């Protein structure tokens, strides 16, 4: 992927005041007040943190020029030194963790970043051990017909809550949560608004089936693992799990649904775009920045979202934005299932399986390599989606509204022009790309511009946006950013770190306020793949973790699924 012009992600100054967040209006169709968007809380280390004191001493030893930074080699060697000498980790474990970190080779690392990475290493090793235990050979995961005698169910709380109908859907949650009304239905679940009787917070209860086709169960497991991970490592721009209803008393055969408690937000970006709420350049900048900030954290955890769209971006009246819905996310390196996001329509034919997502809506935000059915794709599929979303905020309608995958490719060809010879070769090189659809893509582009060079793509996108955008003209920074995201091949697209440094977002960008997350560890599914017992084991482990300590009320900046 492309990077910033000088090849390095600049480190902000730490010897003076940092940049301030812009003041933007509240985004509510009912209340239009001018508010200050508070600066996201900066990560800090308590002065009495023994781990931080230890790390600081070692950091100063490696920082030979005393400039407060380490180069990549020093950074990795110090992480290895501390991991082996002080955390008693095996050298191979530390090296495996280092290999998962997405680091820019030319970028200097400050102490805060090192401390985050070191703490993440320790947490990663613990999580790795936790996830490995229930799914090891000979466990209930590899023999799902029974739960082992030492199953975590022995120490798991059980629920005696009766099922209550909300609309026509039964919800079984404890008395702490007061159910109000249904607010959404999706392919995998039903969402009800509720309130927390202990904290007074507004929440939602998401009911997801614990039975069904393995593809559906696998999506539920992925979402649960990622939500748990975000709960352990909270991020202001990602939705995390607050609580979860324990399994019902009695036989687990009656456990047919999971009830996830999630933060509740005012609405989603789709509703705002479709409303008559004015969207200023300040609004769009702030939303774009938060989207990229959350995506940077998600990608640093090794997760590709794959379903970014306005309805999956939840928003509060103070303009706080959080990414949600991780059901079809993948971790980098994870083996693709037979039913992927590419094959939703075909795989569902003749089966009693619901589609992974709303195929028509999601298609508008799909990168060319997904539409071309490439199997090996990267984080760049999310970057394309971000570009399409930013353009939609400007246009107040989707940028490209294809009626099928083929039609979507034709619209992309009309906008970008025919792919160059180098781009065609790159797309065909991504295993699985359909040569027939690639020819259709080229033919669509030739109707408008014929053969072109890679560099001309940006000007074509800019021209399309400038002709329709409420932002005014092609000199607007948002148009330049979108033009660099909407490129045929992943390598030609601007990556997320470079996008955060783009001139349009420069006033908000602060490297030290854009934290990484440790890698997500997805459990493997031996044998024939995921089963109901696998999901039950993961859910039981999640309940034990959630109920091990009282649930703390969320911080104001973390509040927020849409009402």
Residue 176's CATH number: 3.30.200.20
Instruction: Assign 516 to helix, strand or coil.
Output: coil
SS (H, E, C) 199-227: CCCEEEEEEEECCCCHHHHHHHHHHHHHH
Distance CA 303, CA 518 (A): 11
pLDDT of residue 253: 72
Instruction: Assign 261 to helix, strand or coil.
Output: strand
Q: What is the domain extent for residue 229?
A: 155-265+523-558
Distance CA 366, CA 296 (A): 19
pLDDT of residue 441: 63
Among 134, 168, 194, where does a domain finish? 134
Contact status, residue 267 vs residue 315, Cβ threshold 8 Å: yes
| Domain membership flag for residue 409 | no
- Which one of 141-150, 283-292, 356-365, 466-475 scores highest in mean pLDDT? 283-292
| Domain membership flag for residue 41 | no
Among 65, 99, 134, where does a domain finish? 134
| Domain membership flag for residue 368 | no
pLDDT of residue 188: 65
Range name among 232-241, 245-254, 418-427 with the lowest pLDDT average = 245-254
Nearest CA-CA partner of 461 in 494, 489, 484, 483: 483
Mean of pLDDT values over 341-363:
40
pLDDT of residue 446: 57
As for how many domains the chain has, the answer is 2
| Domain membership flag for residue 390 | no
Contact status, residue 179 vs residue 194, Cβ threshold 8 Å: yes
| Domain membership flag for residue 536 | yes
Known binder of ligand: residue 206? yes
Residue 113's CATH number: 1.10.238.10
| Domain membership flag for residue 75 | yes
Is residue 172 located within the same domain as residue 256?
yes
Average pLDDT, the chain: 71
Is residue 191 located within the same domain as residue 245?
yes
The token pair that represents 128 in the structure block: 């790795």
- With cut-offs at 50, 70 and 90, classify the pLDDT of residue 537: confident
Mean of pLDDT values over 72-97:
76
Checking if the pLDDT of 359 tops 50, the result is no
Greatest CA separation found in the chain? 68
Instruction: Clarify whether 495 is annotated catalytic.
Output: no
- With cut-offs at 50, 70 and 90, classify the pLDDT of residue 40: very low
pLDDT of residue 386: 97
Tell me the per-residue pLDDT of 171-193, one tens digit each, with 9 for 90 and over: 888 888 999 998 887 666 789 99
Contact status, residue 471 vs residue 462, Cβ threshold 8 Å: no
User: Tokens 């509703």 — which residue?
Assistant: 271
Is residue 130 located within the same domain as residue 168?
no
Model confidence, pTM? 0.68
Tell me the per-residue pLDDT of 383-398, one tens digit each, with 9 for 90 and over: 999 999 999 998 888 9
- H/E run at residue 195: strand 189-196
Contact status, residue 55 vs residue 70, Cβ threshold 8 Å: no
Is residue 168 located within the same domain as residue 249?
yes
Is residue 75 located within the same domain as residue 172?
no
pLDDT of residue 406: 84
Is residue 160 located within the same domain as residue 59?
no
Is residue 130 located within the same domain as residue 160?
no
Is residue 109 located within the same domain as residue 179?
no
| Domain membership flag for residue 32 | no
- The better pLDDT of the pair 56, 439 is held by 56
Range name among 58-67, 263-272, 323-332 with the lowest pLDDT average = 58-67
Mean of pLDDT values over 27-37:
34
Distance CA 84, CA 95 (A): 10
pLDDT of residue 230: 94
Tell me the per-residue pLDDT of 104-149, one tens digit each, with 9 for 90 and over: 555 677 777 777 777 777 766 655 554 444 433 333 333 333 333 3
Is residue 54 located within the same domain as residue 112?
yes
CB atoms closer than 10 angstroms to residue 524: 15
Distance CA 235, CA 225 (A): 15
Among 77, 104, 134, where does a domain finish? 134
- With cut-offs at 50, 70 and 90, classify the pLDDT of residue 493: very high
| Domain membership flag for residue 436 | no
Catalytic residue among 243, 266, 307, 480: 307
């Amino acid at each position: 992927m492309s990077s910033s012009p000088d090849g390095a992600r600049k480190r902000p100054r730490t010897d003076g005041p940092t940049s301030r967040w812009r003041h933007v209006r509240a985004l509510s169709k009912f209340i239009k007040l001018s508010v200050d968007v508070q600066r996201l809380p900066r990560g800090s280390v308590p002065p009495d943190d023994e781990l931080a004191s230890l790390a600081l001493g070692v950091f100063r030893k490696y920082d030979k020029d005393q400039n407060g930074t380490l180069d990549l080699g020093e950074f990795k060697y110090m992480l290895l030194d501390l991991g082996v000498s002080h955390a008693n980790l095996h050298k191979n474990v530390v090296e495996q963790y280092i290999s998962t970190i997405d680091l820019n080779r030319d970028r200097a690392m400050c102490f805060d970043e090192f401390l985050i990475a070191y703490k993440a290493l320790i947490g990663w090793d613990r999580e790795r051990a936790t996830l490995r235990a229930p799914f090891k050979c000979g466990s209930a995961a590899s023999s799902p017909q029974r739960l082992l005698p030492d199953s975590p169910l022995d120490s798991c709380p059980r629920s005696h809550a009766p099922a209550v109908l909300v609309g026509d859907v039964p919800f079984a949650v404890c008395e702490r949560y007061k159910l109000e009304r249904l607010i959404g239905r999706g392919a995998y679940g039903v969402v009800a608004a509720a309130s927390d009787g202990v904290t007074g917070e507004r929440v939602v209860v998401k009911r997801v089936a614990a039975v069904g086709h393995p593809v559906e169960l696998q999506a539920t497991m992925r979402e649960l693992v990622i939500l748990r991970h975000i709960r352990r490592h909270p991020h202001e721009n990602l939705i995390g799990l607050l609580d979860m209803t324990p399994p019902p008393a009695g036989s687990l055969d009656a456990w047919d649904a999971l009830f996830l408690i999630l933060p509740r937000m005012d609405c989603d970006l789709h509703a705002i775009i479709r409303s008559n709420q004015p969207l200023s350049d300040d609004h769009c900048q702030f939303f774009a920045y938060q989207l990229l900030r959350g995506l940077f954290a998600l990608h640093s955890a090794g997760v590709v979202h794959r379903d970014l769209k306005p309805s999956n971006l939840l928003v509060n009246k103070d303009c706080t934005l959080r990414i949600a819905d991780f059901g079809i996310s993948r971790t980098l390196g994870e083996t693709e299932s037979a039913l992927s996001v590419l094959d939703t329509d075909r795989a569902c034919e003749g089966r009693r399986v619901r589609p992974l997502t709303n195929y028509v809506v999601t298609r508008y935000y799909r990168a060319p390599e997904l539409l071309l059915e490439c199997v090996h794709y990267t984080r760049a599929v999310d970057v394309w989606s971000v570009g399409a979303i930013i353009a939609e905020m400007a246009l107040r309608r989707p940028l490209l509204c294809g009626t099928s995958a083929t039609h979507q490719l034709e619209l992309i060809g009309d906008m970008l022009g025919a792919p160059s010879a180098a781009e065609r070769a790159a797309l065909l090189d991504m295993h699985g790309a359909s040569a027939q659809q690639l020819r259709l893509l080229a033919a669509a582009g030739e109707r408008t511009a014929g053969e072109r060079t890679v560099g001309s793509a940006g000007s074509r996108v800019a021209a399309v946006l400038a002709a329709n955008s409420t932002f005014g003209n092609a000199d607007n920074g948002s148009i330049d950013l979108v033009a660099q995201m909407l490129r045929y091949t992943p390598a030609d697209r601007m990556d997320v770190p470079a996008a955060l440094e783009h001139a349009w977002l420069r006033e908000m960008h602060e490297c030290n306020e854009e934290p990484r997350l440790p890698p997500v560890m997805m459990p493997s599914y031996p044998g024939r793949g995921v089963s109901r017992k696998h999901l039950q084991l993961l859910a039981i482990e999640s309940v034990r973790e959630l109920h091990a300590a009282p649930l703390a009320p969320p911080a104001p900046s973390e509040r927020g699924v849409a009402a």
